[in-house]
Chain A
């Protein structure tokens, strides 16, 4: 056999082996009921404005997973592969739905308890069902509708608009005067506060001043509004320190909420009773690997909740206790736990909580709650506990 023949034979064998390997990694494209089901579930859930507004991140993850499943099918991957990707996509979609449900319920809970809600106005607006359509005649009658006759530019329309604005201003003035009359002026009012009460027009001037004016620009009304806006700004600025002082006094005079109420609030944050009081546990998943760097998005909700709770209850303090497993040396573990506790404390301080109210401690591997001989036990031991020592444990 010549060297040329041998070369041909080796080339041929390479080609055959390559083809076999490619064939081994490929399959026939088949219809997957799991993918169809996952797609249908995603389409249904994605249409829900509550889910798309409150769990947008989770929904996007589900969409990406669904695309992976679709790509797997398009690339003729084995059917078990497509089924797996579709199953995970379906689970992620359902997770998005449940997350939105949880956020919605938490929001209602916060509203019911008079707490400051964590959802922004924009998110709530997006989550709300679309408003019913207003009949064209009603829309035209709305004074500030940009598409209405007031913005047509004709002289008659401008006059009509001026009249409407004047009428509305007068109505607002009357309304404000009525409100001022019902409010009892406190005896200890400072001069700026008295000035604020004596200038009833000012607060309403700002929103009207912000309105888009018509092209003809009626000078009289505009200058009046500008004056009122300036007056509102100056009284607001002058009143700020006095109002802050009054609010501070009011806050100090507020009675401490009952233990039951505090328990309810903590319950809403998934806190649990333990021997030291009420505690919220942040697991290892909130930190990036074996470091003290927080995954800000994951931890944000808990930190916002805790900061809000401490803000509303200024007499309460917080103990942050971080623990690790025994994987590294004792010194390393101790350092890591201190760093993690400090990281949480820093986040709360950044959210406006006084540093003196938070005590951050790291215990390293010295206080395990599970065995360190298996992954699950080690994971349970890697934790940060946020303990409210002033609140006794409750049997909720």
Chain B
């Protein structure tokens, strides 16, 4: 029977534990989700009604793409979450502005 070094085994186990604790989540689905939210905001007219919010969402989305390419998935995921929330806000603002604009037009007519 070959002798195994308990110190080495312990170190390997600990390393596995550390790696599993800091496991990186997949960003693919989050990328799709954020892109979808940005697209929805654009469809709602965010470029007109919520330019700052959609710009911020776009910026964060692009940064996240770069980070994901550079294997910094954790940071990328955070930025994608932020981009999604910003895009959702942009969409909501656009919907509100759009509806209020239509209401104002109707009242003027």
Chains A and B are bound partners? yes
**Are A270 and B78 CB-contacts (below 8 A) given A21-B17, A375-B32?**
no
Cβ–Cβ contact A21 & B14, under 8 A: yes
| B52 in the interface (beta carbon within 8 A) | no
Residues of A within 8 A of B1 (CB): none
Measured CB to CB, the closest approach of chain B to A396, in angstroms, equals 9
**Are A283 and B36 CB-contacts (below 8 A) given A13-B11, A270-B98, A375-B31?**
yes
Measured CB to CB, the closest approach of chain B to A3, in angstroms, equals 8
Measured CB to CB, the closest approach of chain B to A59, in angstroms, equals 12
Measured CB to CB, the closest approach of chain B to A279, in angstroms, equals 11
| B39 in the interface (beta carbon within 8 A) | yes
Residues of A within 8 A of B107 (CB): 112
Residues of A within 8 A of B24 (CB): none
Q: Mark A89-112, 1 if CB is under 8 A from B, else 0.
A: 001101100110110011011001
Measured CB to CB, the closest approach of chain B to A315, in angstroms, equals 23
- Which partner residue on chain B sits nearest A272 by CB separation? B43
- Which partner residue on chain B sits nearest A265 by CB separation? B102
Query: In the docked arrangement, what's the CA distance between A11 and B13, Å?
Result: 12
Measured CB to CB, the closest approach of chain A to B60, in angstroms, equals 11
Cβ–Cβ contact A270 & B35, under 8 A: no
Residues of A within 8 A of B21 (CB): 21, 25
Q: Mark B9-26, 1 if CB is under 8 A from A, else 0.
A: 111011101100110000
Measured CB to CB, the closest approach of chain A to B49, in angstroms, equals 10
Cβ–Cβ contact B31 & A285, under 8 A: no
Q: Which listed residue (B17, B40, B103) contacts A18, Cβ 8 A?
A: B17
Cβ–Cβ contact B81 & A88, under 8 A: yes
Cβ–Cβ contact B18 & A379, under 8 A: no
Cβ–Cβ contact A98 & B102, under 8 A: no
Query: In the docked arrangement, what's the CA distance between A9 and B82, Å?
Result: 46
Measured CB to CB, the closest approach of chain B to A155, in angstroms, equals 57
**Are A91 and B103 CB-contacts (below 8 A) given A18-B14, A18-B17, A98-B92?**
no
Residues of A within 8 A of B102 (CB): 105, 109, 264, 267-268
- Which partner residue on chain B sits nearest A11 by CB separation? B10
Measured CB to CB, the closest approach of chain A to B80, in angstroms, equals 11
| A87 in the interface (beta carbon within 8 A) | yes
Measured CB to CB, the closest approach of chain B to A131, in angstroms, equals 25
Cβ–Cβ contact B13 & A14, under 8 A: yes
Cβ–Cβ contact B43 & A281, under 8 A: yes
- Which partner residue on chain B sits nearest A290 by CB separation? B32
Cβ–Cβ contact B7 & A283, under 8 A: no
Q: Interface residue tally of chain A, by bracket?
A: 35 or more
Q: Which listed residue (B37, B44, B106) contacts A113, Cβ 8 A?
A: B106
Query: In the docked arrangement, what's the CA distance between A99 and B90, Å?
Result: 10
Q: Mark B54-95, 1 if CB is under 8 A from A, else 0.
A: 000000000000000000000000100110011011001101
Residues of B within 8 A of A281 (CB): 43
| A245 in the interface (beta carbon within 8 A) | no
Cβ–Cβ contact B40 & A283, under 8 A: yes
Query: In the docked arrangement, what's the CA distance between A24 and B22, Å?
Result: 10
- Which partner residue on chain B sits nearest A282 by CB separation? B43
Residues of B within 8 A of A274 (CB): none
Query: In the docked arrangement, what's the CA distance between A108 and B103, Å?
Result: 7
**Are A84 and B82 CB-contacts (below 8 A) given A14-B13, A17-B14, A105-B96?**
yes
Residues of B within 8 A of A138 (CB): none
Query: In the docked arrangement, what's the CA distance between A281 and B44, Å?
Result: 10
Residues of A within 8 A of B39 (CB): 283-285, 376, 379-380
Measured CB to CB, the closest approach of chain B to A199, in angstroms, equals 41
| A219 in the interface (beta carbon within 8 A) | no
- Which partner residue on chain B sits nearest A8 by CB separation? B6
Within A271-316, the residues touching B (CB, 8 Å) are 281, 283-285
Q: List 19 A-B contacts (CB under 8 A).
A: A9-B6, A13-B14, A14-B14, A17-B15, A17-B18, A18-B14, A18-B17, A84-B82, A91-B89, A95-B88, A99-B96, A102-B96, A109-B106, A112-B106, A264-B102, A268-B99, A270-B45, A285-B40, A379-B35
Which A residues are closer than 8 A to B by beta carbons?
6-7, 9-11, 13-14, 17-18, 21, 24-25, 84, 87-88, 91-92, 94-95, 98-99, 101-102, 105-106, 108-109, 112-113, 264, 267-268, 270, 281, 283-285, 375-376, 379-380
Known: A105-B100, A283-B43. 8 other contacts (CB 8 A): A6-B6, A13-B14, A21-B14, A24-B18, A91-B88, A283-B40, A375-B32, A376-B35
9 closest A-B pairs by CB: A98-B92, A105-B99, A102-B96, A17-B14, A102-B95, A91-B85, A10-B6, A101-B96, A10-B10
